Amino acid sequence: MQKANIIFFYGPPATAKSYVAQQVAKQTGYVYFNLDEFYVKVKAQSEVEKLNKLMQVFQAEPKNYIVDGFLDKKAQAVVFFEHYQKPRYVIYFQSSKDEVEQNIRILSTEDQKKCRFQRFSNFLQNRDELLAYLKKFQFFVTVDAVQKGLSNNFQQSSDLIIQSIMSILKPKVLVALTYNNEELAEVYLNKVETELGYKHLHLETLCEEELAKGTPQGKQMGAFLNSGQVVPPQMQIELLRKYLYNDPQQNKFILTSFPEKYQEFRTFEDKLFPITGLINFLKEGKTVSFSAKMNPVLHYSAEGKNLIIQNEDLGPFQSYLTKRIKYGIVIGPVMSGKTTFAKYISQKFGFNLIEWGETAIAQLKEKLSTVPGEQIEELTLPMIIKYYKDLFSNVTNEKYVFDGFPPGCEKPEQILQFLNLGQASWVLNIGIDQTNQWIRYKIKSEMDAAAEMTDDDKEKMITNAKTHEEILKQVQVYVQQQSDCKLFKQDTNYSLEQNYKSIDQIFGKRVYLASILANLDSDIYEALKLIYINIAAKYKMSFVDVEQLIAKNFEKLSNDYEMRWTKQNCKNPSNFTPETVMKLVKQYIDDLPIQSRDVLLWGYISADQQGDKQQQEQIFPRATDELMMVEKSLGQIKVLYAITEQPLNSEINDPEWVLEKPEVPPPKQEGDGGDEEPKDAGNADGEENVPKFNIYNYQWTKSEIPKNMAQIFMKVKQPNPVQLEVSDYSFKLIYDNFDELFQSIQENNNHTYFAQIQLQQPIMD
């Protein structure tokens, strides 16, 4: 027997429940059901009578309901849940007693106040027992019913409550662009339906079916089509609404034949909700094409939501939709330094480190024990695998690095089992030659440098090397099968500093900065921004509009705002410390659905941006601080674009500062009296004859003028300079020129560029 799909709204009076329930019902197409009005209508008085009448109406008309209100007592809820059905959700509007009372006083008429205070008193009598019962169920969810304060800002606060609830109810909806590879799209979408449970909605077919049914909505569509017009997006959205929310068991959809204009996507998201992602079917070797206008592909690429599919592998699709932990493993033979590198990766790039030393094993034994404070006697490999498999299934958005495989994990099937704890993102293989391996072994064992390797030691080294080779073979098999897992190789026969730099290149981001040092009107600004969005889309970069990001998070950042007297835009990045800006940028990048090694920051560096700055504003923050923090937080800057109207001075020509060397007094002779000059006994470390620092042995310059971004970058990074002169008719030159820079960086990761983009007239006269 079909049952009703019920969502209860539960909470105290004067928390916008009724208004929110009506709006949510309208957005989902559900039936709005006011519980208090229903009881009055059916003249239900006792608790039993109310419950029976309610179950009868839901049985007689099994529809989708938003119920404004909830059962008064726990006993009623127990009967309803256990003898009739469990609801889809019970959404609790959480608000403090003081807040509710204030809302009643301010938002109620004099006639309403007495009634609402009485209802609130009844609510409080039963709330604690009822909440304790409801919290046992997964369908119980809580929303903040205070937000910005309903009594002071009802509309904005209630809109935020609606957004919060709709984020719970909204289905996953992806839009597929099939026109670039229709053959692949047909096969792929069929696999997604049959294997992953998604429902494919072809919008054109849905419209035709609605016309054939002769529904009122179908007739309206027919009127447009018969007059040679296109069915308006709003009408198509209303049609989709019925399918997207009708069946609560079906909440995963892929739309095709969806309107391809950017504005029509915006309309969909404004009227319904942001789509989960864009699936862009391309042929092998093809990339996103340049567009002089914003389109869906560019828009969703900039949001990290453009999923490019070029073969039938469902792996990228599943990875995109699954928020899972990211983990990797550092492997290598004994004395290769794998523990050193695992610790470095953990500290530098924010990975949780998992080791297999005695202390770590003891801690794991204690965690697996059922007796607090005691350890299990034996820790087996299956127990370790189960522990981390359970751990990884219950956490998301965390990063882990394993210092090698656990003890006893050497057989092929064991290695694959461990790699499949979730899905490994990377494996770093440490390589070392036998000579360096032996040198490190002697140092660690405190052996004499001239000592020869014994036969036993040689045998141990050979056995260990063979074991590592077998492990590596299984890792290579795994990587070949998993498109999302990468195998990196690190040769550690060089200095530790060189090795750290190599690790940084593997795990750090490659950063591309576009700094705007000109006063641009909005049209020019957006046109230039679109060029860089095109660049990011073509090369699969993460795109970050730094000023826009600050604007979205400004309320959260208000405590960090310098609040100094300034004529600068308060949301300008230069009003915040570089640490604050980079923390925000890094969090944004980490949350993007599609991750990239390459990051393009639009509107940063900001310290040298033009504006009506006062004297104190010219020294904070410095471009030096911003550049340093970018590399410290994200990775190496590969290209710095400076967008200017006038040529930018990138050379430092400070005047020389000549220091006058004071006269040295003659040495004291015997008999002159006074203390004898102490003899130089070396430095604090006991080293003798080490020359002391002498300021006069160096050349100095002096200047009261702060160095600009270009001067600092050219001096410190010594990049290859690039100069382009463009007007609004030739902005695409920036896009075309970037290909050469990017290919150069791909071939040699040490290449860095400083590109000055000088704007020429006419600029949109």
Query: Residue 712 and residue 710: Cα distance in Å, rounded?
Result: 6
Query: Residue 121 and residue 429: Cα distance in Å, rounded?
Result: 66
The pLDDT assigned to 272 comes to: 86
DSSP bridge partners of 431 = 491
pLDDT in tens, 480-491: 887 778 899 988
Of the listed ranges 146-160, 278-292, 527-541, the least confidently predicted one is 146-160
Asked whether the predicted pLDDT for residue 132 surpasses 60, the reply is yes
Q: Please state, for a pLDDT cut of 70, what percent of the chain lies above it.
A: 92
pLDDT in tens, 465-482: 888 999 999 999 988 887
Q: Which of 63, 90, 393 is CA-nearest to residue 248?
A: 63
Of the listed ranges 175-179, 651-655, 667-671, the least confidently predicted one is 667-671
What is the mean predicted confidence (pLDDT) over 209-237? 88
Give the confidence band of 277 by pLDDT, cuts at 50, 70, 90. very high
Q: Which residue has tokens 């929303």?
A: 143
Residue positions counted in the chain = 765
Q: Please state, for a pLDDT cut of 90, what percent of the chain lies above it.
A: 51
Average pLDDT of the residues of the chain: 87
Query: Residue 392 and residue 38: Cα distance in Å, rounded?
Result: 47
Half-sphere exposure of 569 (CA within 13 A, CB side): 14
Q: Which residue has tokens 């928020």?
A: 323
Asked whether the predicted pLDDT for residue 328 surpasses 80, the reply is yes
Asked whether the predicted pLDDT for residue 599 surpasses 50, the reply is yes
Query: Residue 175 and residue 253: Cα distance in Å, rounded?
Result: 9
Q: Which residue has tokens 């903040």?
A: 144
Q: Which of 528, 513, 491 is CA-nearest to residue 601?
A: 513
Asked whether the predicted pLDDT for residue 568 surpasses 60, the reply is no
Element (H, E) at 364: helix 358-367
Asked whether the predicted pLDDT for residue 527 surpasses 60, the reply is yes
3-state secondary structure of 642: strand
**Residue 405 carries which side chain, given as an amino acid letter?**
F
Query: Residue 61 and residue 70: Cα distance in Å, rounded?
Result: 19
| Torsion sign, CA atoms 290, 295, 299, 304 | negative
- Report the relative pairing of strands 31-34 and 64-68 from DSSP bridges: parallel
197, burial (CB in 10 Å: exposed 0-12, middle 13-18, buried 19+): exposed
Higher-confidence position of 691 and 424: 424
What is the mean predicted confidence (pLDDT) over 16-40? 94
Query: Residue 400 and residue 392: Cα distance in Å, rounded?
Result: 10
What is the SS3 assignment for 452-475? CCCHHHHHHHHHHHHHHHHHHHHH
The pLDDT assigned to 144 comes to: 92
Q: Which of 426, 422, 382 is CA-nearest to residue 406?
A: 382
pLDDT in tens, 613-631: 555 445 567 888 899 999 9
Backbone Cα Rg of the chain? 34
Helices (H) and strands (E) counted in the chain, each on its own, are 28, 23
What is the mean predicted confidence (pLDDT) over 290-312? 93
Half-sphere exposure of 429 (CA within 13 A, CB side): 16
Helices 154-169 and 17-28, interaxial angle, to 10°?
50
Give the largest Cα separation in the chain, rounded: 123
Of the listed ranges 126-130, 504-508, 641-645, the least confidently predicted one is 504-508
The structure tokens listed for 717 are: 């990074």
Give the confidence band of 561 by pLDDT, cuts at 50, 70, 90. low
The pLDDT assigned to 565 comes to: 47
The pLDDT assigned to 320 comes to: 87
- Our measurement of the distance from residue 603's CA atom to the centroid of its chain's CA atoms, rounded to an integer in Å, reads 19
Query: Residue 222 and residue 208: Cα distance in Å, rounded?
Result: 9
Give the confidence band of 584 by pLDDT, cuts at 50, 70, 90. very high
Give the confidence band of 566 by pLDDT, cuts at 50, 70, 90. low
Higher-confidence position of 92 and 651: 92
- Report the relative pairing of strands 31-34 and 172-177 from DSSP bridges: unpaired
Got the DSSP string for 666-686? PPPPTTS-SPPPPP----TTS
Count the Cβ atoms, other than its own, within 10 Å of residue 608.
Answer: 23
Of the listed ranges 244-258, 344-358, 507-521, 546-560, the least confidently predicted one is 546-560
Q: Which of 757, 742, 731 is CA-nearest to residue 290?
A: 731
Q: b/e string for 692-711 if b means 16 or more Cβ within 10 A? A: eeeeeeeeeeeeeeebbbbb
Q: CA distances (Å), 44 to each of 80, 290, 339, 570, in order?
A: 16, 66, 72, 58
Give the confidence band of 685 by pLDDT, cuts at 50, 70, 90. very low
The pLDDT assigned to 428 comes to: 95
Predicted model pTM: 0.81
Of the listed ranges 156-160, 435-439, 449-453, 589-593, the least confidently predicted one is 449-453
Our CA angle for 337, 343, 347, nearest 5°, is: 145
What is the mean predicted confidence (pLDDT) over 506-511? 91
pLDDT in tens, 152-206: 888 989 999 999 999 999 999 999 999 999 999 999 999 999 999 999 999 989 9
